[in-house]
């Protein structure tokens, strides 16, 4: 806001010409005083601007291209200002340089590595084989020969249902078979002497066949009351006790063969053909996210589900030490090989209004700006999509003095960061439980 100095109005008792001329002179002096102040301010601003341009050109070599485009760099040098000359290759002096020579930088060679893509899903484990033992007939449970949690072999008898009537029927069938066999033997002797007719022989053999069938039927009824393990495995909780009246098809216990666990999950149809039987899986129980177990793909579904466009996959894992149980929830990770990309140190990554880039040294020893696209981040390295070749040097330190075409000297070449295995990098993801796909309980 401009201030205006008000001068008191001058009045003279005499209105002669000299008095009026003197009053006009005082008024002009007042106006010229305001103009002088404005002029002083303008001169000071101009001096500051000139000083800033001189300091920018002397102390910041990166400003030389801009000053040259403005037509100021030549006059500043002609005026005797200490501005460093560039060499024939465009190198500049200044901070990090050597008085007009190459700019010294710290670099690192580019290596290439394979980007790892992952498909992550949630699945529920089930045993490789499992049966629920039920009764075929009703009756009273007489005895149980195992305890909950025991290991049983296939064919071992587990329980016995009351079978007194079936034992009597078996004894009766055995007697009938012996009687029928004795009659056949007598008819055979009479046949040798010609005393038996063909009708008698046929009737005796038919009776023997019926007796054999009666015996087999009695043995079957007896076996139906003897409960045996159909597979080898661990016995679950036994709910029935001796003396209980069991109905037909009543459940007694479950047997699980959990030496291997199976789990099913779904992936998008875009991965069809990229996952094969035998491919490795990384499996972690949700209750112990830091325990990583090695699994493998056991089978693939024959078709894609046309409702949700997913492919069902079955994985398996060895249950060494019997530490896992069916029904547990697991995080299943399918590592998939990706494209081969350059690997750079995070220190080399720079940003400007055009996006991410790195300074790379070309074959002539000059710094060039190379645009990059970040493909994957790891603990101490970044995989990028860029026009970088293996073994090419990228700049880690000294980037503040660089411009395209600047001649550089690599004063230090740091060790190449070897891409770490993704197991350590996945810990945080496992804790966060950030999954890309999930499946309901199987």
Q: What is the pLDDT of residues 292-305, one digit of tens each?
A: 899 999 999 999 99
| 79 pLDDT more than 90 | no
What does the alpha-carbon distance between residue 64 and residue 66 come to, in Å, rounded to a whole number?
A: 5
**Token pair in block for residue 195:** 């005393």
Least confident of 23-27, 188-192, 258-262, 374-378: 23-27
Model pTM? Answer: 0.54
Q: Tell me which of 119 and 1 has the higher pLDDT.
A: 119
Q: Is residue 250 scored above 80 in pLDDT?
A: yes
Q: For a pLDDT cut of 90, what percent of the chain falls above it?
A: 38
pLDDT greater than 90 at residue 49: no
Task: Spell out the residues 6+ positions from residue 29 whose beta carbon is closer than 8 angstroms to its own.
Answer: none
Quick one: pLDDT band at residue 66, thresholds 50, 70, 90?
Answer: confident
Alpha-carbon distance of 335 to 274, in angstroms, equals 11
Pairwise pLDDT comparison (197 vs 280), residue with the higher score: 280
* pLDDT, position 23: 54
pLDDT score, position 239: 85
Compute the mean pLDDT over every residue in the chain, rounded to the nearest whole number: 80
Residue 243 to residue 144: CA distance in whole angstroms: 10
CB contact at 8 A, 200 and 187: yes
Who has greater pLDDT, 328 or 435? 328
214-228, 352-366, 425-439 — which is least confidently predicted? 425-439
Cα dist from 183 to 186, 193, 199, whole Å: 5, 16, 14
């Amino acid at each position: 806001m401009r201030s205006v100095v008000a001068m008191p109005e001058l009045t003279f008792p005499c209105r002669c010409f000299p008095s009026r001329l003197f009053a006009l002179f005082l008024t002009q002096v007042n106006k010229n005083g305001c103009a002088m102040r404005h002029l002083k301010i303008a001169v000071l601003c101009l001096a500051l601007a000139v000083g800033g341009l001189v300091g920018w050109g002397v102390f910041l070599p990166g400003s030389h291209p801009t000053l040259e485009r403005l037509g100021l760099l030549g006059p500043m040098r002609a005026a005797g200002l200490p501005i460093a000359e560039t060499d024939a290759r465009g190198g500049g002096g200044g901070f990090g340089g050597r008085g007009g020579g190459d700019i010294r930088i710290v670099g690192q060679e580019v290596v290439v590595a394979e980007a790892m893509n992952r498909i992550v899903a949630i699945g529920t484990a089930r045993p490789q084989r499992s049966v629920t033992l039920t009764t075929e007939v009703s009756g009273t449970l007489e005895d149980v020969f195992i305890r909950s949690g025991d290991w049983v072999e296939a064919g071992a008898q587990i329980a016995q249902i009351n079978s007194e009537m079936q034992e009597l029927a078996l004894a009766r069938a055995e007697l009938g078979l012996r009687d029928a066999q004795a009659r056949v033997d007598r008819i055979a002797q009479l046949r040798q002497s010609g005393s038996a007719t063909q009708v008698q022989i046929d009737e005796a053999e038919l009776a023997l066949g019926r007796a054999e069938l009666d015996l087999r039927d009695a043995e079957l009824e007896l076996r139906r009351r003897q409960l045996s393990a159909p597979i080898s495995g661990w016995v679950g909780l036994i709910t029935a006790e001796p003396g209980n009246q069991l109905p037909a098809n009543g459940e007694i216990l479950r047997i699980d063969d959990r030496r291997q666990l199976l789990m099913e999950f779904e992936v998008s149809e875009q991965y069809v053909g990229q996952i094969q039987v035998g491919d490795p899986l990384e499996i972690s129980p949700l209750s112990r996210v830091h325990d990583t177990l090695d699994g493998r793909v056991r089978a693939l579904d024959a078709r894609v589900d046309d409702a949700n466009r997913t492919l069902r996959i079955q994985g398996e894992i060895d249950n060494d030490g019997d530490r896992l149980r069916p029904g547990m929830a697991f995080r299943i990770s399918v590592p998939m090989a990706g494209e081969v990309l350059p690997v750079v140190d995070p220190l080399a990554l720079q940003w400007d209004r055009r996006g991410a880039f790195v300074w790379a040294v070309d074959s002539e020893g000059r710094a060039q700006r190379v645009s990059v696209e970040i493909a994957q981040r790891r603990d101490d390295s970044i995989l990028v999509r860029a026009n970088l070749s293996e073994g090419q040097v990228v700049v880690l330190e000294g980037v503040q003095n660089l411009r395209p075409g600047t001649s550089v000297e690599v004063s230090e070449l740091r060790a190449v960061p070897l891409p770490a295995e993704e197991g350590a990098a996945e810990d945080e993801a496992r804790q966060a439980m950030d999954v890309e796909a999930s499946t309901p309980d199987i």
